[in-house]
Amino acid sequence: MKRTDFKLDKMKNKCIGILTSGGDASGMNATIRAVTRAAIYNGFQVKGIYRGYEGLIAGEVKELTTEDVSSIIQRGGTILKTARSEAFTTPEGRKKAYDVLRKEGISSLIIIGGDGSLTGARIFANEYDDIICIGLPGTIDNDLYGTDFTIGYDTALNTIVECVDKIRDTATSHDRIFFVEVMGRDAGFLAQNSAIASGAEAAIIPEDRTDVDQLEKFIGRGFRKTKNSSIVIVTESPKDKNGGAMYYAERVKKEYPQYDVRVSILGHLQRGGAPSAYDRILGSRLGEAAIQALLEDQRNVMIGIRNNEIVYVPFAEAIKNDKPLDKSLIRVLGELSI
Ligand code: F6P
């Protein structure tokens, strides 16, 4: 018997649960489709768990067939719905979740989500080692360590660029400075790369916090020498810190009253819309790889992509480390926005 035949035989009739958790991201549906179809192809049964860990605790589980995931690859959001679960952060909540999995006969759990969702998976996997947990990086923030890209990031980036192109038209007509706020939680991937892609004059990101205030750097460059309007992309600020587009706009209004300033907060439109081709392919590859990982007896890992190759990243590594932003991107934007 070949190794893979043996594995297939061993895993036959095993049941996999799949859920999406935390903020939705375009490409999650492509991932659900890939997991479901690759699982069925390899002889597993698949059950969809609705509303993330919340729905798991409440027992919202339904078998998925290949037909259930037809015609979803092109759709944003998640057909399984999602939630941020307080209950799953408690031992009692996780015990209820475990009981549901046992009752449903689910022995492996695939979690599509970001940092918080994989943190939950890690804690759960440590407590209940008879459930195999596999994570898939699904978040627009691109902030998971160990993977070059997360599912949903590329689509969100393209959405931002499309919006900034439009804002640029009105900024130019009125000779205004626009502070455009984008999502990203504590990470500047969306802000920095959308700034480069849209030809913005500056990006204010958490990774570039130094002694010299980023706003001062931007003003100090004398941006008015060659341009009458400007776009500054700003990462949303953590709730407890100064920052965000409003904060910088107010400061400019006070400190440089000669400038005409406006703010645009892109908000949740960044999370919606049809996934880009890249996110569809990424979701398909990572989803299929999750099933391969189960066949290879992997557990408690996030499936990532590095240098275009599938990698297994232990949960602890994916969550614990801050994903570094390539600092040369700061230089690129600086040199090209003169
Ligand atoms: O993690 C994804 C994300 O979109 C972050 O960029 C943002 O800070 C957060 O979710 C917003 O969450 P919610 O939709 O719960 O307000």
> Could you read off the pLDDT of 65-124 as tens digits, one per residue?
999 999 999 999 999 999 999 999 999 999 999 999 999 999 999 999 999 999 999 999
**Mean pLDDT across the stretch 219-228?**
70
pLDDT at 306 over 50: yes
pLDDT at 147 over 80: yes
> Across the chain, how many H-helices and E-strands are there?
12, 11
pLDDT at 240: 66
- Residue of 273 and 214 predicted with greater confidence: 273
* Ligand 1 atom closest to 84 (CA): 15
Q: For residue 33, what are its two tokens?
A: 């489709």
Q: Which residues are catalytic?
A: 141
- Residue of 61 and 320 predicted with greater confidence: 61
Produce one character per residue of 245-267: b if its CB has 16 or more CB atoms within 10 Å, e if not. bebbbebbeeeeeebebebbebe
User: Percentage of the chain surpassing pLDDT 90?
Assistant: 84
Ligand 1 site, residue 200, Cβ cutoff 6 A: no
8 CA → ligand 1 middle, Å: 39
pLDDT single digits (tens) 21-61: 999 999 999 999 999 999 999 999 999 999 999 999 999 99
Residue nearest to atom 3 of ligand 1 (CA): 23
Ligand 1 site, residue 271, Cβ cutoff 6 A: yes
pLDDT at 209: 79
pLDDT at 153 over 70: yes
pLDDT at 22: 97
pLDDT single digits (tens) 192-206: 999 999 999 999 999
pLDDT at 320: 82
pLDDT at 243: 86
pLDDT at 5 over 60: no
267 CA → ligand 1 middle, Å: 9
pLDDT at 160: 98
Strand pairing class (230-235; 202-204): parallel
pLDDT at 222: 66
Given a contact cutoff of 8 angstroms between Cβ atoms, the answer to whether 249 and 262 are in contact is yes
159 CA → ligand 1 middle, Å: 16
Cα–Cα distance, 82 to 24 (Å, whole number): 7
pTM: 0.94
Confidence of residue 1 (pLDDT cuts 50, 70, 90): very low
Ligand 1 site, residue 182, Cβ cutoff 6 A: no
pLDDT at 262: 97
Cα–Cα distance, 301 to 234 (Å, whole number): 33
180 CA → ligand 1 middle, Å: 16
* Ligand 1 atom closest to 141 (CA): 6
pLDDT at 64: 98
**Mean pLDDT across the stretch 213-227?**
73
* Ligand 1 atom closest to 184 (CA): 6
**Mean pLDDT across the stretch 293-321?**
95
Residue nearest to atom 13 of ligand 1 (CA): 23
**Shortest CA distance to 36 belongs to which of 20, 52, 21, 25?**
20
Return the minimum-mean-pLDDT range out of 113-117, 166-170, 227-231. 227-231
pLDDT at 3 over 50: no
* Arithmetic mean of pLDDT over the chain: 93
